[in-house]
Structure 1
Amino acid sequence: MRPLEDVRIIAVEQYGAGPFGSVHLADLGAEVIKIEDPRAGGDVGRYVPPYAEGEDSLFFETFNRNKRSLSLDLSSPEGRAVFEDLVKVSDAVYSNLRGDVPAKIGITYDDLKHLNPAIVCCSLTGFGMTGPRSKEPGYDYVLQGLAGWMDLTGDPEGPPTKSGLSMVDYSGGFVAAISLLAGLHAARRDGVGMDCDVSLYDTAIGLLTYPAVWHLNAGFVPERTRHSAHPSLVPFQAFEAADGWLVVGCAKEKFWQRLAVVIGHPEWAGDPRFATFADRRRNKDVLLPLLEEIFRRRTVDEWLKPLYAASIPCGPINDVPAAMKEEHTLARDLLVETEHPHWGTVRQVASPVRVGADRPAYRRAPRRNEDFGHVVRDLLGYDDTRISTLTDAGAFGPLPDGDTTPASGGGAAASGGGASEGVGAVGS
C-alpha cells in the first residue's frame, strides 16, 4: 500500500494554496475528494489563463492530479446532507477559505464531531480563524508585502520585490499538510479529532526565522542586498560572468580558502582584511568589487568547472527552461506525465515529498464532477431513488432544462469561477 492509501480527505478547496497542500497527500495515496461548488463553475483554478480552454487549464492540472471531484452545493440542505454522510466515512475535512467562513458554513470540529468524533478539520485561511484580520481574504502577493518579505527582496536601489513564485501559498500548503497529518496521527491514537487552524499569515511570519530573531533580540533591521547577497556571509551572492550569472557561496571558511586559489589570489585567504567571516563582512565594500571584476573575465561554464572541482558551493542562475533540462532534474525523476482528454500528454513536475523507495503513480486532475458515481454510489451507497431525490432538490447543483443528471464535466453549471461564501469563497 502507498503511505496514505487508508486516508480519505474531503477537500473544500480552491485555487492554489489549498490544492497545493493536498496534492502531495493525494500523490502519497490519500483519497482526496474535491468538493466543487456548481454555482461557481467549480474551482476557479479551472479558468486561470493563459493555458485554459473551457474548464480545462494547465494551472488546474498542476494542483489537482490524483484527486477526485464531486459537484456539491453546500448551501442547500440536501447538499449538506451528502457532505455530512461523507464526513462519517472520512478522516479529515481540509479547506482553504476566508478565516470566518469555516465556522459560518459549519465545517469546524465542533460542527462535525457528532458525525465522526475522530474527524480532523484542517482550515488553511489567509489570516487564521481568530484575530483582527480573520475576515480578510488572503493572497500570496498581499502576504509577501505584509510580512516583510518584499522589503527584503530586490536590489537596494529598486522597489520592494515579490518572489517570482507564490512562496507563501506553497509554504502554507505544506504547513497545512503537515498539520493535517499530525492531527490524523493524534486522532487515530486517541480517537478524538480536532481543528487545525493554519494560516498564510502565520506561515509568512514564521518563515522570517533568523532575521526576525536578530531584530527581536539585537535590534537588527534587515536591508535589501546587492546581487541577492547573503545578509552576513561574504561572499555568498550572484556574480555576473561574461555570458550570464552564477551563484557562489562561502558558507564555511574552507570554501573561502579554496575560492581564493580558484580566482588566482591564494594570498587573500590569509589577508587580514578577508581572513574570517567577520573580516570579510566588515570589508565587503573592498572585497566584492574585486571579486565582481574577476568573475566578469570568464563565462559561467568556465567558472563552474574549477569551482565544482574545488567543491565550492556554486551553480548557474538558470531560467525555467534550463532548470527543466538540468541533468539532476532528470536523474531525480522530477518530470512526470499524465494523459488528458483535452491536453493530451501533460508534463509536469513531481512532488518533492519522498516516502520509501516506491515512486507515486500519477493520474490527471479530474474533470468537474467526474467522480460523482464513485462517491455517491460506491462510498455512500446511495441507490437510484436517493440519487434522483437529491438531484431534483439541487444537492449537486442546478440542472439544465430537460436534464435529469447532475452536472458533470462543466455541462450544467455556469462556467466562470465567480466566488461565493461557501466553497467558492475567496480565502487563501
Structure 2
Amino acid sequence: MKCDMVQNRTSYRSDIKKGFILLIALTFLLLTVVYIFFVPHMLAMTPNALYKNLAKKIHSYYVVIEFPFFRDKQVQQTATTQHTTTTQTTTVAVTNNITSEHYHVAHPHNYQFILDESDKCLKQNPFLVLMVPVAPQQLEARKAIRSTWGTETNVQGKSVMTLFVVGLPGGAESNKTQQMLNEESRQHGDLLQSNFTDTYVNLTIKTMVIMDWLATRCPQASYGMKVDSDMFLNLENLMTLLLDPKTPKQNYITGMVMWNRPVVRSKNSKWYVPEEMYPEPTYPTYLLGMGYVFSNDLPPKIVEASKDIKPFNIEDAYVGACLKRLGIQPSSPPDPSQFKAYMGKYQREECLRVITTILGSPKQLIDIWKDVKRSV
C-alpha cells in the first residue's frame, strides 16, 4: 500500500512537471506570435512613424497637403538641420515657430528664405516687379532672361525689377546645384530661395512664397507679375497697359482668363486633383499661370485668404480660389490676344504686338529678342 502511494505521488509530481513545462512552452509560443504580428504595428503607430508612413503614401502627388502638426521634434530638427546645410530632404520643412494646426504647409509663413534680397526694393523703388519661378538647375533659362527682357530696368520712365524664385534642389547633384545657386546669387543679386522642395507639385507653395515676398519685402511697388521662365515678355506693351488711365490700381489682376475649367480627375494626368483636395467639379475663374500681372495690394490679401483655403497642386487655380474668397474677379485685358499661349511659327510683327507668349527654349528667346530689338 505504501509503495502504491509513493508510486502515485511520483506520478503526480511527474504530471505537474510536464504540465508546467507545457505551460511555459505555450507562453513562449504566444509571446512569439504577439511579437511577430503585433509589435511592429504597435511601434508603427508612434507619431513620427505615423507621419513618415502617411508622407510616403501621399508625397508623390500631394506634398502641398502635408500638415506640420504631424511632425515630432526629431523630424522637425532633422528637416531644419538639412535645410541649414542646404542638402536635399524628402520632406517639406516648416519653421520652428509654427504651432497652430490651422497653418497648412502651402501657407508661406511656414517657410524661410535661404537666399533673399530683402532690401532690394528699398534701394530701387520699383514700379513693377517681375517674379520668375524657375527650377534650381535651369541656369540657361535664367541666363537667357538676364540677357533679354530681364535687362530692361527702366521702361517708359518706370523702374522694373526682375527676380528669380527657386526652392531646394533635389537629386544626386543637389549639393553642387546649391553651390552654383549661392555663387549665382552673389554674382547677380536676383535670386530668392525658400526652403521648400522644388517640385512640380509644389508650385502652389512657390507661388504663395512669391506673394508673401511681395507683401513683406516690396509693398511700395505698384504692380507685380508672376511670369514663367519659358516666356517671351514685351515690357513696352505691358507698361502701356499698366500706365493706361483706365487700368485699376487696386484689386486688379489680368492675363489669360480661364472660365469654368473642369477639374481633372484622371490619375494618369499631371494635372490630376483628387476630390479630397478640391471637391468642386470646376475651378473658380483664374489666370493661366504662364504670366499674369496684378496690382501690388493683392499679394497680402491673397496670402491672408490662403490661411483658410485647403491647398491643391494646381497653383494658378489655387490663386483663383483665393481671389474668389476675397470677392475679386480677374479682369480680361483690353486685348486678350496679347496674352498668347503659343505663337506657332515665329513672326516678328506678332512679338511686337503681344505682351506674353510661350517659347520652346532659352536659345529661342535670345534669337527672337535679337530680332525684335534690331533696327528696322
Same fold, TM-score > 0.5, yes or no: no
- Asked which structure has the greater RCO (Cα within 8 Å, sep 6+), the reply is 1
Q: Which category describes the TM-score, using the shorter chain as reference length? A: under 0.3
Bigger-Rg structure (1/2): 2
- TM-score normalized by the length of structure 2: 0.23
The TM-score with structure 1 as length reference comes to 0.21
- Structure 1 or 2: more helix by fraction: 2
